[in-house]
Amino acid sequence: MEYYLQLIINGLVVGSIYSLVALGFVIIFKATKVVNFAQGELVMVGAYICFALTVQFQLPFLASFLLTLVFSIVLATVVERLILRPLIGEPIISVIMVTIGLSSMLKSFVQMVWGTQIQVFPAILPQEPYMLLGLPIAPVYVAAFGLSALLFGVFSLFFKYSSLGIAMRATAFDQQAAQSMGIGIKSIFALSWCIAAVVSSIGGIILGNINGINAQLGHLGLKVFPAVILGGLDSLLGAALGGLIIGVLENICEGAAKDLFGLGGFKEVASFLILVVILMVKPYGLFGTKEIERV
């Protein structure tokens, strides 16, 4: 029993990171209708930049954390400006291919600079675990979960109450009508890429602190697909819950497979098995907008 409880807690922590990355994915999809296959690479780049600043440049962690966020904003602006803006109005398949290309470029760039070895962040939080229900939990896990929850809270308020957030939702609903209100949709697109890059970097930094980083970190982007599809592609709440559910389920599947059948490596496929089931049962996800298509 304790074994499974531990799995659930691990799942929640990993899931909260999935949620963060899914949040970025959903924001881009909502505002610009672009399916961003480079989301995982944004996570990876964020993690490596923070690593470089803390370890190679010996900056204090907080400073390098903030600098990483600044860097993410710059990176997202450049990517949006140079690569995605010229593609506004082009077929969606071209845009998707471009984000796939972008993901390999970012990955190669990271491998070129930092190599393919696993790099380990220096311990920032104390190692002494907290005890929760008799289970030891590392402080970094608590921090990861707390930070994700905090970011979700902040963004929910942002989309509910700030003019800019409301304008982003309006743009997501009807771009031309938003333009007619004087909303600059190009800056809204740029902003959504910036937010996506920032939350992904935060996810990457947290993950780096837990597991260390290597060039395979970008695969996280693929794990996010089951999460967003479960939640519904255009729902923030869906992204949050989808991430947590996928995180927990894949951990439990892994644990159960090992425990009952002695099989390993089930974690990698579990989330995609779940994905297939979701698509069969609930193709719009838990909270996604149902569209009526007439043929």
- Point out which residues bind another protein (CB under 8 A): 163, 166-167, 169-170, 172-184
Judged by CB, which is closer to another protein: 231, or 255? 231
Distance of closest approach, residue 173 Cβ to another protein, in angstroms: 5
Judged by CB, which is closer to another protein: 140, or 183? 183
Judged by CB, which is closer to another protein: 127, or 176? 176
Distance of closest approach, residue 30 Cβ to another protein, in angstroms: 10
Q: Rounded to whole angstroms, how far apart are CA atoms 190 and 211? A: 31
Distance of closest approach, residue 289 Cβ to another protein, in angstroms: 8
Q: What separation in angstroms does the CA of 175 have from each of 74, 88, 182, 288, 289?
A: 25, 12, 11, 19, 17
DSSP-H helix ranges across 162-282: 163-173, 175-180, 185-211, 220-231, 236-256, 267-281
Distance of closest approach, residue 181 Cβ to another protein, in angstroms: 5
3-state SS class at 41: helix
Judged by CB, which is closer to another protein: 178, or 229? 178
Q: What separation in angstroms does the CA of 162 have from each of 22, 76, 107, 150?
A: 22, 22, 35, 17
Distance of closest approach, residue 238 Cβ to another protein, in angstroms: 14
DSSP H or E run through 11: helix 2-32
Distance of closest approach, residue 288 Cβ to another protein, in angstroms: 13
Judged by CB, which is closer to another protein: 186, or 282? 186
Tokens representing 191 are: 């902003």
Judged by CB, which is closer to another protein: 3, or 173? 173
Q: What separation in angstroms does the CA of 72 have from each of 75, 167, 208?
A: 5, 23, 16
Closest C-alpha among 109, 53, 114 to residue 78: 109
